[in-house]
Amino acid sequence: MGPSPVTRPTILVIDDHGGFRATARRLLERDGWSVVGEAADGRSGLAAAAALAPDVVLLDIGLPDVDGFTVAERLAASPDAPSIVLISSRDAETYRERVRSSPAAGFLAKHELDGTALRSLIGTASP
Amino acid sequence: MNERRRRLALVAIGLVALVFGPFATYQLTRTAERSPALLLADLAVGWSMIAAGLIIADRRPGNRIAPFAILTGFAWFVGDFTSSDVAVVSYLATVVHGWFDPLFALVILAYPAGRITRRPDRALAIGFVAVQAGWTVIQAYGLRPIAWWDCPTCISTVDRWIAAYDAMDPLGRIETLLLTGLSIGLLVVVAARWVSASGAARSRQTPVLVAGLVLAGGFIATFVWQTVLPTSAREPLGELRVIVLAVLRVFVAIALMIGVLRDDAAKGRIADLVVRLDGLPPLPVLQASLRDALGDPSLEVYRWEAASASFLDAAGRRATPPVDGAARAVLTIGHADAPELVIAHDPTLRDDPGLVSAAAAAVRLAVENERLQAEVRAQLDAVTASRARIVEAQDDERRRIERDLHDGAQQRLVSLQLSLQMLRRDLGPDADPAAVAELEAASAEAAAAIADIRELARGVHPAILTESGLGAALGSLADRSPLPVVVADDLDRRLPATVEATAYFVAAEALTNAIKHSGASRIDLRTWLADDQLHLDVRDDGRGGADATDGTGLTGIQDRVAALGGTIRVESLDGQGTRLEVALPCASL
């Protein structure tokens, strides 16, 4: 049952809310993603991304140390940069311009998160 | 004595003088033929002195010139009774009437303040009184042998008195000589006062200079008349001498009165000064104003400058103010040890202490005013700064609440909703429809709660303002508006958070009002920077006639704008739409 581990895209969730990370993990795993790691702030997120080289990074904008846009810049600058999807519990409008000018593939409001939405967002950008 | 009784007393004295004067003048006709001119002149001298005294007493209750002037006038009339055919009256009058001139001298010396303070003045006053007192005693004694009690109404005694007079003639000449000397001394003192005074002070001294000339001239004339002229020439010249001197005395009496009352005009100038010194003017202006008010072109003002620890004069040069003394009179404003201002003026102004102290009071008032104004300005600055800080603190607090809502309840609700959605999918197609419906209702409820909290958070403080700036926040306002809103955002940089937030809330309030009340079909929103100020312009094409002061929610916004030192203007004429213009300074924050 389910896609083989080889074909499952890997994803790293960076968000400071443990509750959301847990929910997101269950939701994404169910939708055929392989959540290879979680991080609670920007710095450990960057370290995890370097170590795990995920296909996609689900990145919260409001992190306690560095903000999501900065983390996105750094991730994008690394070799074999992952696709980045910014998330926030605020609506898209709040960050529209900044999302547009960031290297992220797109933005998802947290309550709209599901595997399909994610896949369609990164569609063309995904490896 | 209260005011009414004092006035009554003055009226009574006036009435007595009115009756006594003609009665006295009438006495002159009892022993000799007199010309009407002489009689009139005699009446005029007495009356003018008494009138001057009464008027001074009325207008300057504390001035001692008044009683002396009145006494001088009565002494003049008493002199007429030397011609009385009642021996006892004639005797007393002869002894007493000579006091006219010494009393007149005292009036001159006490002019204008009613005090004799300087040493030479006092010496002269004592001299006059002493000589006259001595002569009074001598006369009283010299005329004593006349047995007036033998024949109280006997006219022949007059001849015997004349004989007695002749016997005293050498002493009389000495008395005249002494009084002449004293009056020349008085003339010198008065002339010195006049020469050393300047401007208004000098013109004020003019009446006494003339008075001194008259007095001295009178004595010199009398001396010449008594000692130089042959007896045959005395009588016709005597009458002319009396008339000329009388006319001069009338003028002097009037001039003295005017001189004493002059500080009415001076008080007017002081009142002007008080008005002109609204706040302490620059030193040259202050100096000019004081020179003008006190009529002293030599007056100088010095101001202590703490920075250079020295006094500066009106030209801004370092200077050492003179010391109070005979050459200059000096008064200080401020602490006695550390005066802020020093005013050096003509010492003759000391004659008029009321005038100088009034001017000093005006300056003190100005200094105090300036201090108070500076204090108020400082307090106002502090209040303004604290008002701006309160607005900033309020913004910080709103931002914190928005973040708390976002980080707390909203995150939980988002997780909850995602869980509900997963649960719904887990149930699969065979699930109990009632359970599915329940789950979908719960999910919808969670979505609604998320929307509510998002709306609430935006009302508290729009995150977009912090995240993306004023332009984006205004764009978001426009997007959510039910009316077409055109935003022209010419800002090329971020502004202080409080300024952005204030502009945002003003715009939000203006949009709300336009949507609710104006019936507009379109709203224009424009922002731009000019002169370090953020300008926000909101216009609608509605019906106008909005009242910014009347419950439009703008009041709170106006306070907020004012707290940042900004201005807000609402223009809303009937039928011409509403225009709201706000300018907020950006540099100071």
Residues B256 and B295 in one domain: no
Residues B115 and B231 in one domain: yes
Per-residue pLDDT, B236: 60
Per-residue pLDDT, B492: 84
Query: Domains in chain B: how many in total?
Result: 4
Q: Nearest CB to A19: which of B411, B417, B463?
A: B411
Q: List the one residue out of A41, A116, A119 whose CA is nearest residue A83.
A: A119
Backbone angles phi and psi of B410, in degrees to 5: -65, -40
Residues B248 and B366 in one domain: no
Per-residue pLDDT, A2: 45
Per-residue pLDDT, B70: 92
Q: Is the pLDDT of residue A6 over 60?
A: no
pLDDT tens, residue order, chain B (589 aa) = 577 888 899 999 999 999 998 988 888 887 777 788 888 888 998 999 999 899 888 887 778 888 988 998 998 888 888 777 777 787 788 888 888 888 888 888 887 777 888 888 899 999 999 999 998 888 887 776 555 555 555 545 556 666 666 777 778 778 888 888 888 888 888 888 788 776 666 777 777 777 777 777 777 777 676 666 666 665 666 677 778 778 888 888 888 777 777 666 666 777 777 777 776 788 888 888 888 888 788 889 998 888 888 898 888 888 888 988 888 888 888 877 788 888 898 887 776 677 788 888 888 888 888 888 888 999 988 988 898 889 889 999 999 999 899 888 888 999 999 999 888 888 878 888 898 899 999 999 999 999 999 889 988 998 888 888 899 899 988 988 898 999 998 888 889 999 999 999 999 988 888 888 888 889 999 999 988 899 999 998 888 877 766 665 677 788 889 888 899 888 888 888 889 999 999 864 4
B467/A111 Cβ within 8 A: no
Chain A CB contacts of B414 under 8 Å are 20, 89, 110-111
Residues B547 and B482 in one domain: yes
Residues B331 and B448 in one domain: no
Q: State which residues form the domain around B477.
A: 464-585
Name the CATH superfamily for A10-121.
Response regulator (3.40.50.2300)
HEC letters along chain A? CCCCCCCCCEEEEECCCHHHHHHHHHHHHHCCCEEEEEECCHHHHHHHHHHHCCCEEEEECCCCCCCHHHHHHHHHHCCCCCEEEEEECCCHHHHHHHHHHCCCCEEEEHHHCCHHHHHHHHCCCCC
Tokens 């050459």, residue located = B327
Query: B-side interface with A, Cβ within 8 Å?
Result: 406-407, 410-415, 417-419, 421-422, 425, 447, 450, 454, 457, 462-464, 467-468, 472, 476, 479
Residues B113 and B209 in one domain: yes
Using CA atoms, how far apart are residues A88 and A94, in angstroms rounded to an integer?
A: 10
Residues B292 and B365 in one domain: yes
Residues B135 and B184 in one domain: yes
Residues 61-120 of A with CB under 8 A from B: 62, 89-91, 93-98, 110-111, 113-114
Residues B368 and B442 in one domain: no
If you measure CA to CA, which chain B residue comes closest to A112? B418
* Sign of the four-CA dihedral B373, B378, B383, B385: positive
Q: What is the pLDDT of residues A56-92, one digit of tens each?
A: 999 999 898 888 999 999 999 988 889 999 999 888 8
Chain A closest CA to B482's CA: distance in Å?
17
Per-residue pLDDT, A87: 93
- Residue where a domain stops, chosen among B261, B287, B321: B261
Using CA atoms, how far apart are residues B106 and B215, in angstroms rounded to an integer?
A: 11
pTM of the model: 0.55
Residues B468 and B449 in one domain: no
User: Do B525 and B474 contact (CB within 8 A), yes or no?
Assistant: yes
3-state secondary structure of B378: helix
Q: Is the pLDDT of residue A126 over 50?
A: no
**A100-106 long-range contacts, CB within 8 A, separation 24+:** A102/A69, A102/A72, A102/A73, A103/A72, A103/A73, A103/A75, A103/A76, A104/A59, A104/A72
Q: List the one residue out of B540, B580, B541, B539 whose CA is nearest residue B561.
A: B580
